[in-house]
């Protein structure tokens, strides 16, 4: 990953890294073969760099972690989900501009 605020989420670490996080977590549900996922990845990386200490960013490959994707109803990718206090509080499906994501994040960061 590009910085220490980005983690690779898996079925094995999802509970510890996302659900038990003391700060909000943005989860990027993606797949390597997904073109829109590749387009949004640099935006997600920028957000990770800009929100250090306020927001954790996790990338979860749905092909390798189908159980987690299914648990949260991820039917289309990319799906960007925001977890606060272990709860899914917001999500955006498909490629969106950075300002759309930051506006949604800013509504929750600091509330946890």
The residues annotated as belonging to the active site are 34, 37
Contact 74, 37 (CB under 8 A): no
Residue 95's alpha-carbon distances to 28, 44, 50, 55, in angstroms, are 11, 11, 19, 20
């Amino acid at each position: 990953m590009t910085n220490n605020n980005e983690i690779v989420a898996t079925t094995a670490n999802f509970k510890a890294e996302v659900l038990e996080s003391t700060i909000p977590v943005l989860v990027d549900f993606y797949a390597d073969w997904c073109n829109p996922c590749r387009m949004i990845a640099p935006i997600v990386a920028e957000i990770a760099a800009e929100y250090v200490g306020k927001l954790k960013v996790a990338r979860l490959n749905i092909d390798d972690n189908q159980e987690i994707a299914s648990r949260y109803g991820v039917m289309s990718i990319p799906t960007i989900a925001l977890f606060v206090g272990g709860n899914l509080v917001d999500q955006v499906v498909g490629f969106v501009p950075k300002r759309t994501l930051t506006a949604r994040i800013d509504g929750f960061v600091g509330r946890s």
